[in-house]
């Protein structure tokens, strides 16, 4: 499955159902992105790399996700597959 298509489909479904925060984690390049739901669409809030804390503002309060122990995929698994 095409990764770009998959991400947008999930994002659209989550937005339609009112999921307030959408986080994308990419272990191939050790990065993450946070999007917040605003007016039915996700807006980019922040991005970072493994080792940085992900901060997400949820309806119940702010949550921090510690990524210091997260590791990227081994080099052999980071290929440009679809």
- Owning domain of residue 22: 3-70
The answer to whether position 76 is within a domain reads no
Q: What is the DSSP string of 19-79?
A: -SEEEEEETTTTEEEEEEEETTEEEEEEEEETTSPEEEEETTEEEEE--TT--PPPGGG--
- The pLDDT tens digits of the residues spanning 12-68 come to 999 999 999 999 999 999 999 999 999 999 999 999 999 999 998 888 999 999 999
pLDDT of residue 64: 96
Domain count of the fold of the chain: 1
pLDDT of residue 1: 47
pLDDT of residue 33: 96
The answer to whether position 75 is within a domain reads no
pLDDT of residue 10: 86
The answer to whether position 82 is within a domain reads no
């Amino acid at each position: 499955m095409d990764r770009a298509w998959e991400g947008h489909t999930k994002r659209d479904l989550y937005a339609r159902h009112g999921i307030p925060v959408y986080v994308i984690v990419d272990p191939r390049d050790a990065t993450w992105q946070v999007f917040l739901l605003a007016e039915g669409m996700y807006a980019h809030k922040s991005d970072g790399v493994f080792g940085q804390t992900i901060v997400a503002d949820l309806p119940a309060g702010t949550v921090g996700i510690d990524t210091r122990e997260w590791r990227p995929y081994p080099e052999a698994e980071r290929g440009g597959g679809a």
